[in-house]
Structure 1
Amino acid sequence: MKTTKTIFQDGNHKWVAIVRDPQKPNHLIDTNEYLVTHGSRGLVLDPGGAEIFPAVFSALSAEFDPSALAGVFASHQDPDCCSSLALWLEFNPAMRCYVSWMWSGFLPHFGGSAETFIPIPDQGLDIPLDGLMLQAIPAHYLHSSGNFHLYDKQAKILFSGDVGAALLPPGMDGLFVEDFDAHIGHAEGFHKRWMGSNEAKRDWCERVSQLDIDLLCPQHGAIYRGADVLRFINWFDELPVGILSR
């Protein structure tokens, strides 16, 4: 089952992590989903695959009225990000999906109409949420050729999709990174293989290092906080990626 944890709250502005499921089937990669709310509206980030929709929907409903969701943000096109889209739209057909323009013609295979999708241009987009402005930050080729992260300047949170992801073994199931050196070994192989461009990686590191970030929240694994945010960015900047180990 999925559970929730509030990771930020300031008045009517809230971030909730819908965290990893220790009881998930072994053949599924584990994922984090995130809910950001402001005022009476909410946005769910990388809402997950169809297989886990009931667990995500149940956990989210315990925190927020799902009928008040304005939409979903899809960092890229992978099924573990958003193959549940048709199920969310069945519940609320008015929801919108923010995704790279590259995938706005592909994601309808998961469900939705032309009106469902709001294509994000390569340079990014400001996404309004009931008075709050969120920023879609370019993260192309990390790992998808059309890829975005979501930055909340007010909360100082960056949702980083697959960047920062770690494939953690049983027993390492904490919400936050507690021991960076022990944790990062579980991220290294993933980043070397799945991140396809050193040039794009350096561009991302330069861009996000200029942001004020308290929490870096990946789609897989634990959340980086405080000094570990810059520690991760510096580690990633130095890591050679796009490597096939033999």
Structure 2
Amino acid sequence: MQSRVLFKEGAHRWIMFARDPLKPEKIIDTNQYMIVNEDQAVLLDPGGIELFSSMLSSVVKEVPIDQIKYLFASHQDPDIISSLGLWDKALPSATLYSPWLWEGFIRHFGMESINFSPIKDEGGSLSLAGLDIQFIPAHYMHSSGNFSVYDPKAKILMSGDIGAALDKPEAPFFVEDFDQHVVKMEYFHRRWMPSNKAKHAWVERVSKLEIEMLCPQHGAIFTGDNIPRFLDWLDTLDVGIAVR
């Protein structure tokens, strides 16, 4: 699995883990993220069970395992959090932040030791060694209980499945040609985002944030002018249609 430092300022870092060449062929590629501040770290959408060994070996190259104090699951999908039962063994004292709505479902992946901290519908925050990490409501985008993560210091928004694109493993880490990238996003967003009302609410909410990187769970990261271009594109896209 490849790792890439997206942001570094002193003891504050964002690291992306993706493009695992050893993943099973029919498993879609996912982006996992880790925020580190001082001597604490949080794993964001740490991935499916089939990626656990690659993720663990990549993560411990960046931080000692006892510094991983928190996990975050934006929603209940298996590509996001089905590795939970294994992280439960590796991080028995950690806390998982996730939508309250999905606790009963997420526990099916295995959670005996990790503490569960439910996120209320209106959002919340996590203090990572004094760094305020914000949980931004993203309900029905595409899950009925869903959150994005915003780091106001790094100015990074982890958007989850919003902005996702299915791409080749050798594709660039950052969006280079927006018009070509739209082709890789459109079907997914039309099919999996069920509500134009919810979509408009999310776009309005995150448009008020200062964002220098918009990091989805699949595909390339948006930077610079491609961030407002993506938000404008998404805001005008008609979703909630059963595309066949």
**Taking structure 1 as the reference length, what is the TM-score of the superposition?**
0.96
DSSP-derived class of the 1:86 partner = helix
Matches within 5 A, 1:107-146: 107-113=106-112, 116-146=115-145
Give the CA deviation at 1:169. Answer: 3.7
Instruction: Give the conservation status (yes or no) of the 8 Å contact 1:104–1:118.
Output: no
Q: Which digits, 9 at most, give the CA deviation of each residue in 1:104-154, with x for residues without a partner?
A: 122111121486110000000011111101000000000000000100000
After superposition, the CA RMSD in angstroms is: 1.2
Is residue 2:232 matched to residue 1:234?
Answer: yes
Instruction: Give the conservation status (yes or no) of the 8 Å contact 1:142–1:201.
Output: yes
Report % sequence identity.
50
Alignment partners' CA distance in 2, 1:6 and 1:170: 18
Unaligned segments of structure 2, at least 5 residues: none
**Taking structure 2 as the reference length, what is the TM-score of the superposition?**
0.97
Alignment partners' CA distance in 2, 1:144 and 1:213: 23
2:213 corresponds to: 215
Alignment partners' CA distance in 2, 1:169 and 1:18: 15
Alignment partners' CA distance in 2, 1:113 and 1:88: 10
Instruction: Give the conservation status (yes or no) of the 8 Å contact 1:142–1:195.
Output: yes
1:163 corresponds to: 162
DSSP-derived class of the 1:6 partner = strand
Alignment partners' CA distance in 2, 1:170 and 1:97: 29
Unaligned segments of structure 1, at least 5 residues: none
- Which 4+ residue blocks in structure 1 deviate beyond 3 angstroms? none
Residues 7 and 115 of structure 1: is their aligned pair in 2 closer, same or farther, counting only changes over 3 Å? closer
2:13 corresponds to: 14
Alignment partners' CA distance in 2, 1:49 and 1:170: 17
Alignment partners' CA distance in 1, 2:12 and 2:161: 25
Is residue 2:22 matched to residue 1:28?
Answer: no
Instruction: Give the conservation status (yes or no) of the 8 Å contact 1:12–1:38.
Output: yes
DSSP-derived class of the 1:106 partner = helix
